[in-house]
Structure 1
């Protein structure tokens, strides 16, 4: 089902949680409890965690907000970022392709747990994506108890970002967090970005269901290594990218 990676690098989930002023100890304890209860391969990054606001967060979230889902975030989510008083980082284990969906499902459960415990905002650092609290909860609920394909899709929507553009392609970043290559679709001025994003998501669904090689063959696409990021960058996808030269559908 999984093709040979282009690199020995293995991706990992990096999660950032914001808390309220005076909420640091409770948020930190909630993270520790979640790790003990079910996220045993995750750990708190104490070097980056701090009982103080981070002045970079407003700008970071502004860039990270999901721009595809209509109700991905609201003004009160923006205000929660502005008024935050502490930051907790949690990192997951390095993942092989086959285990990535299950590990990312644990990461999504961890986001839901910490939001319930008082986190005021959350973002995924590995692909640079953020959602509002309600959208995070919705994705976690969609994944909970779902059959594997639907759970993997919810995790992909939670932790991957699209569309990014280089002027020539629109693409995803973060599909490595569910063990898939990124998808690159030729940018077309006659098709809007939301439609191309839907194409990217459709291809990802097909790859998850049928395998990467089958989808590459089906569309005459090309699977190749991605060189936009260094191999030690969280956004680097060792499973490569699938490039579509003549459209998808």
Structure 2
């Protein structure tokens, strides 16, 4: 790691934590029905702004993006409004956390004049939490630089600016106040709440999308088990257990199994290479 990159990671509070990820990030048990996938997840961050200056972030932000090996996508970024954004944000707002966005956030989407996309590198499972923490740092810096709305495209989730800032603060606090697996679990939770969407109502299950961005399988809860909020609570409970105790131990204790069957193709950003946990009635 070059000195500049080390300095940035330490300043963010991530370097000390990320050293533990490679050795301590829980791994997934593979079986005959759950063969490993070669797909590596990626973050796609969508930023909206009030003018074309959004496409030219300050030098310090550009440096942070480069230091974490993220990149600005110049192909799809544009210095004009995207007429699809109002509807897209409308279906992506997080409806689990109370007051996750405000009328001002909705108006910022409606009035945007530019769109910027930032991509992460393909992520190894043991480094997903570190990269997701870096993604939150980039979101925080882009908001400080004038971005007016932010959406995580990989799972289709959006928060208001105040909520994004709160999640970034929680992630940094976790990185600086915990050690070992505790920091992994605490940072994993902040990053999961930031970049994963839940619950999405299917015909049979309430589903999570985006847990692969913190190295975990997604969780589908049978709709017959209760309300959407009950499903989200159970998803978070199991995800916290997997992040803290390990995936294999959590599956064993709760008598759960992994499946490769999902509706997303391997080329889809929402595809989870770590599998799906289905919790029946």
> What TM bracket, shorter-length normalisation?
over 0.9
Corresponding residue for residue 53 of structure 2: 23
**TM score, norm. by length of structure 1:** 0.93
Corresponding residue for residue 108 of structure 1: 136
**Relative to structure 1, is the Cα distance of residues 25 and 92 closer, same or farther in structure 2, using a 3 angstrom cutoff?**
closer
Shift of 1:165: 1.9
Residue 207 in structure 1 maps to residue 242 in structure 2: yes
Shift of 1:245: 2.2
Mapped partners of 1:135, 1:201: distance in 2: 18
Mapped partners of 2:129, 2:154: distance in 1: 14
Q: Which consecutive unaligned segments of at least 5 residues does structure 1 have?
A: none
Residue 165 in structure 1 maps to residue 201 in structure 2: yes
Alignment of 1:141-156 (within 5 A): 141-146=169-174, 147=178, 148=183, 149-156=185-192
Give the number of the structure whose residues are more often helix, by fraction: 2
Residue 33 in structure 1 maps to residue 63 in structure 2: yes
Mapped partners of 1:143, 1:31: distance in 2: 19
SS at match of 2:99: coil
Larger mean CA deviation between 153-162 and 211-220 belongs to: 211-220
Shift of 1:195: 1.6
1:109-156 deviation line (CA, Å, top 9, x unaligned) = 100000011000000000000000000000000000313221110000
Mapped partners of 1:155, 1:224: distance in 2: 24
Shift of 1:25: 4.7
Mapped partners of 2:264, 2:208: distance in 1: 13
**TM score, norm. by length of structure 2:** 0.83
Corresponding residue for residue 42 of structure 1: 70
SS at match of 1:162: strand
After superposition, the CA RMSD in angstroms is: 1.6
Alignment of 1:71-110 (within 5 A): 71-110=99-138
Mapped partners of 2:135, 2:73: distance in 1: 15
Shift of 1:30: 6.1
Mapped partners of 1:124, 1:51: distance in 2: 20
Mapped partners of 1:22, 1:9: distance in 2: 34
Number of residue pairs matched by the alignment: 243
Mapped partners of 2:48, 2:36: distance in 1: 35
Mapped partners of 1:27, 1:18: distance in 2: 12
